[in-house]
Amino acid sequence: MFFVGDIAVPIGAWKSLPEINDHFSNNSVIANLEGAIVLEEGVPRGTSLYNDGAVLAYLRRNNVRLVSLANNHITDFNRSPRTTIDALKKYGVLSCGAGESLKEASSPVLLKDQEGDVVFLGFGWDTIGCRIASTQRPGVNPLERGSVLDGIRKATTIFSGKPIVLLMHWNYELELYPQPMHRQIAYMAIEHGVSAVIGCHSHCVQGIEIYQGCPVVYGLGNWFLPEGMVFGRNLRFPDFALRQLAFEWAPSTPRKMKCHWFAYNRETKSVDFEMSEDLRDSVKMEELTPFAGMNHRDYVKWFKEHRRKKLLLPIYENSNSHLINKIKNMWVKSRHFLISTAVTANWKSELR
């Protein structure tokens, strides 16, 4: 099966979508659906991400079997992800990580695949704007140490003996390296029986580590998130974020992993295939993972020196530091609110 990154398709952009089956035959594809599916007439207003209803036919045509909805845009237009979940179901696409309640959002989902059945769990980090579900509140499954452990236990109990894959929406946008806390949680998950951990949200490809024989893919980058005047803004990513990754992994042959490299073409607004290679032979991935094999303490020191996003953004070092992390969350959310307010104000001024 193949894992690809963020999909956000504005109205009118569906013709530029990259055809996955041109490269991956009819293998199962797993993706992050970066925003709700909007079926109502009219173009959504504001600067939020969404997916035009045309994405449904694209997903089915390209054998996208399951998508993660555990992200910070799934509730932008509607607090409930029900419309998106039901629309996906009609097209034969499974989803995980979001729901009408925490019970639904945290439920493990079984994908029956020709290479072996796999159980999926989706998690979203509230620090980056994921609306966390509760008993009676729709939203996203929280990316917290306790929630991850509970999810693994639930999946193991319901689907005994099946491999478990975690789909994580984490880290800061355009950060090149994993937050120490998230790397720590990924290791912990594998120690508790998870077979693979796959990350999104940074909008750029990050490194891959193999821990106890299992892959931790820290960031797939975008799959289709076009630049230009889209989503109520003039969207443009730095050059390093134009690189995209499709990661190949199979539960039947877990040690056989491949990196399929693509790049976003600014002129054609399309996604072009570059090359495929075995993970163990990938020089590109080795360059993206200079920290591979470091212990947690050494990695925290290394991350402090090498991280890209440093401007008034805290480092999350330990998943057990609940009070400290809560204080950091308050600061990051306040900072995000101020930035979002400024962006929205600029957007409204351009409409006048």
Cβ–Cβ under 8 Å, residues 236 and 264: no
Q: What SS3 state is found at 342?
A: helix
* Residue 349, domain member (yes or no): no
Residue 18's identity, in one-letter code, is P
Q: What is the pLDDT of residues 289-343, one digit of tens each?
A: 999 999 999 999 999 999 999 888 999 999 999 999 999 999 998 887 777 665 5
Name which of 101, 107, 122 is nearest 34 in CA terms.
Answer: 122
Cβ–Cβ under 8 Å, residues 97 and 58: no
* Residue 193, domain member (yes or no): yes
Q: Which domain holds residue 25?
A: 2-320
Q: What is the pLDDT of residues 184-237, one digit of tens each?
A: 999 999 999 999 999 999 999 999 999 999 999 999 999 999 998 888 788 899
Domains in the chain, number: 1
* Residue 352, domain member (yes or no): no
Query: Is the pTM value of this prediction over 0.85?
Result: yes
CATH number at residue 120: 3.60.21
* Residue 345, domain member (yes or no): no
User: Is 41 a residue whose pLDDT tops 70?
Assistant: no
* Residue 346, domain member (yes or no): no
Q: What is the pLDDT of residues 99-151, one digit of tens each?
A: 999 999 999 999 999 888 999 999 999 999 999 999 999 999 999 999 999 99
* Residue 257, domain member (yes or no): yes
CA-CA distance, 292 to 3, in Å (whole number)? Answer: 21
* Residue 340, domain member (yes or no): no
* Residue 332, domain member (yes or no): no
